[in-house]
Amino acid sequence: MPALVRKTLGEYGRALVGWTVGLSAFLTMYISIWSSMKDNPEVFTETAVAKYPGALRDLMGGMADIASGAGFLQAIAYQLLGPLLFVMCAAILGNRAVARPEEARTLELTLTLPIDRRRLVLDRWAAMLLGLLAVALVTLCVVAVAGGLAGMGVPFGRILAAHTGLFLLVLFFGTLALCVGAAFGRGQAALAVVGVWGVAGYVVETLGRNVDAIAWLRWLSPFHYYLDGRPLYQGWPAGDYLVLLGATAVLLATAVFAFERRDVGV
């Protein structure tokens, strides 16, 4: 492993452990509620539907089958909160790839080592990828094991498909933060872009389903390629996932292109 990738993973270590523990605790807690719900599905479905009227229900991903194993898992792990937390983790790591060390002025010494700019961006990105992959693998195990113990009855293949989508979504947003940081060197800007695109993308994808005026915007939403294929129910939406991967590659290429051409730390 290149020295810079190893070093970057070391920098991310503490954050990675924290986020892994936090996400796993969050998932375990919610999945454990499931066992108390599954015995009276009608009551819970009614309560849930009554609690979230109209548009709000759309925003929560429908919730029509919250009392089924797949519906519950989708609602708590893969719809809103799971991606929200995991995307935050990715944005923070992506931000620490270039923008944060540049603002702290520690990037200057790294740049003056015999590492060219392209390698620097790619190595930092690779470390982020490996870090996010580790978090994704641990949380995948947590969902599979806790879901199995709670008797959710969702096949592992479907969980794997959904979790892969989650990882690709999160990798996209992490790369977005890295890209804005590499292009402008401003951490606040990177987080703002992730926040705005993330929230707007989610709202457009969930509400846009029923509002024709903004339906076309769904094509611009990363969440569209993550949620639309309903992997937890229907398995691998290969085309959608390839779009996410392609978009990530474009962002990474942009990051390298921009970082190779600008002054650092001015």
Partner 1 sequence: MTAVVETEGLTKFYGPKLALDDLALAIRPGEVFGYLGPNGAGKTTTIRLLLDVIRPTSGRATVLGAGTRDARIRARIGYLPGELALEGRVRARAYLDFVADVRGGVNRGRIDELAERLDADLSVPMGRLSKGNKQKVGLIQAFMHEPELLILDEPTTGLDPLVQQEFLSMVREARASGHTVLMSSHVLAEVEHVADRVGIVRSGRMVAVEDVAALRERAVRRVELHFDAPVPREAFEGLPGIRDLTVEGASLRCTVDGRPDALIKAAARFTVVHMVSAEPDLEEIFLTYYSEEEAAHARAGA
Chain contacts with partner 1 (rule: CB under 8 A): 3-4, 6-7, 10-11, 14, 101, 104-106, 108-109, 111-117, 119, 261-266
Task: Tell me how far apart the alpha carbons of residues 98 and 138 are, in angstroms, rounded to a whole number.
Answer: 26
Task: Tell me how far apart the alpha carbons of residues 199 and 223 are, in angstroms, rounded to a whole number.
Answer: 10
**Closest Cα to residue 135, out of 260, 40, 11, 19?**
19
Q: Can you point out the beta strands (E) in the chain?
A: none
Closest contact distance (angstroms) between CB of 116 and partner 1 is 4
Closest contact distance (angstroms) between CB of 118 and partner 1 is 9
Closest contact distance (angstroms) between CB of 257 and partner 1 is 15
- Angle at alpha carbon of residue 30, lines to 28 and 36, rounded to 5°: 110
Q: Which is nearer to partner 1, 46 or 116 (CB)?
A: 116
Task: Tell me how far apart the alpha carbons of residues 124 and 8 are, in angstroms, rounded to a whole number.
Answer: 6
Q: Which is nearer to partner 1, 39 or 263 (CB)?
A: 263
Q: Which is nearer to partner 1, 51 or 118 (CB)?
A: 118
Closest contact distance (angstroms) between CB of 95 and partner 1 is 15
Closest contact distance (angstroms) between CB of 30 and partner 1 is 32
Helix/strand/coil percent split, the chain, to 5: 80, 0, 20
Q: Which is nearer to partner 1, 39 or 112 (CB)?
A: 112
Q: Which is nearer to partner 1, 6 or 51 (CB)?
A: 6
DSSP string, 118-168: HHHHHHHHHHHHHHHHHHHHHHHHHHHHHHHHHT----HHHHHHHHHHHHH
